Structure 1
Amino acid sequence: MSDRLQDIQGFLREIIVPRIELGDTALDLTAGLGRDTLFLAQAVGPNGRVYAFDIQAIALAETQRLLEEEGVAEWVTLHQADHARVQEFVSEPVKLAMFNLGYLPGSDHSVTTQAKSTLQALQDVLKLLVENGILALTVYRGHPGGEEEARAVHEFLTDLPPKSYSVLEGQYINQGDKSPYWILVQKKRGEI
């Protein structure tokens, strides 16, 4: 585990690792620089499957480079598509899905995830999750549109039926109201 609590992704991975197994299917709905995609590919192994999505070609090129460098590209399928289109590409049951909302680090900050498409993706991903499957989100709200997306995600997840889903949220309480935070959803049973 990262010894820095500032590393949200490292923290989430520590929670996720015991809940994913070799051979599972996983989704990275915001491939970005490929770090979550790589983590998922290593976690599910060559008998598993990872589907990664990003709207930016530069993000997928970096993800592909990283996966090839680490020798795991064979069991990862990359899609240059909005995450709202996940059900066009994935129909099999999913054990784990990850979102890292916001923009691609080091790129054009005007290209961001959007509330409408993120909500559609969340609805579709929850339908794909197996019982005890996990959805992990890191939410950034300091950029234009980030607060709106964060509110929409929070409202949507708050309304999930507690008999079917457990929803947890964690944030830095000493870093202001624009600091990133995480949300974990575990599917108990049922559909939305």
Structure 2
Amino acid sequence: MPKIANSLTQSHQYIERFVEPGDIVIDATAGNGNDTVFLAKLVGENGKVFAFDIQKVAIERTREKLLKIGLMDRVELINDGHENLDKYIQNSVKAVMFNLGYLPGGDHKIGTKAETTICAIEKAMELLVAGGLISIVVYHGGDSGFEEKNRVMEYLYNIDPKKYTVMKTEFINQPNCPPILVCIEKIG
């Protein structure tokens, strides 16, 4: 019997069901490049991934990973905040991935913030095609803080149900504030 996946693995499983070769997608928080690579493989050689991060080190780590496996040609790396995604992308997108919190292995004082994350989610929802998906893995607690989680969750609970379906998955018996997965699907 397979194990129940964690929130990050589940986000990949959902995104895989939506993204097809040739799609345009966004990694709103490039980090160490794992989601960017995952998305680049899904969109294929005719698709496009826009990957954002405010930290130059995250962009460089992602670039190195993409170059090493030959996927750089389908990715545009953008060293800017995800709240500015509409300045770089005018096309509709099939999927958007967010991992909130700080860069793994990076400075814990630098991380996503509620106001810019909410702004980015709003802009991502506007760019999303009907039937597209946004996944948000919310890391919280400790030095990731509860403030962003609380404000983002409050925002998500108030999204118009006539335009979007919002699902939240939590692991309720795990220690140390396990990440929460939220998926937003744009209704046709």
Question: 1:43 corresponds to which residue?
Answer: 42
TM-score under structure 1 length normalisation: 0.93
Q: Secondary structure at the match of 1:167?
A: strand
Cα distance in 2 for partners of 1:57, 1:159 equals 34
TM-score under structure 2 length normalisation: 0.95
1:176-187 equivalences in 2 (<5 Å): 176=175, 178-187=177-186
CA RMSD of aligned residues (A): 1.4
What letter is aligned with 2:82? Answer: H
Cα offset, 1:6, TM superposition? 5.2
Cα offset, 1:19, TM superposition? 1.2
Cα distance in 1 for partners of 2:177, 2:9 equals 20
Q: Which runs of 5+ in 1 are unaligned?
A: none
Question: 1:113 corresponds to which residue?
Answer: 112
Question: 1:20 corresponds to which residue?
Answer: 19
Cα offset, 1:15, TM superposition? 1.9
Question: 2:97 corresponds to which residue?
Answer: 98
Mapped contact 1:83–1:121 kept (Cα < 8 A): yes
Mapped contact 2:19–2:42 kept (Cα < 8 A): yes
Q: Secondary structure at the match of 2:146?
A: helix
Cα distance in 2 for partners of 1:54, 1:169 equals 24
Question: 1:63 corresponds to which residue?
Answer: 62
What letter is aligned with 2:111? Answer: T
Question: 2:127 corresponds to which residue?
Answer: 128
Question: 1:72 corresponds to which residue?
Answer: 71
Deviations 1:103-145 (A, max 9, x none): 0011110001000100110111000000001000000111346
What letter is aligned with 2:89? Answer: V
Cα offset, 1:7, TM superposition? 3.3
Cα offset, 1:71, TM superposition? 1.1
Q: Which runs of 5+ in 2 are unaligned?
A: none
Q: Secondary structure at the match of 2:110?
A: coil
Q: Which range is displaced more, 116-125 or 153-162?
A: 153-162
Question: 2:173 corresponds to which residue?
Answer: 174
Q: Structure 1 vs Structure 2: percent identity of aligned residues?
A: 37
Question: 1:85 corresponds to which residue?
Answer: 84
Cα distance in 1 for partners of 2:144, 2:18 equals 32
Mapped contact 2:102–2:144 kept (Cα < 8 A): no
Cα offset, 1:176, TM superposition? 4.7
If asked which structure has higher relative contact order (CA below 8 Å, sep 6+), I would say: 2
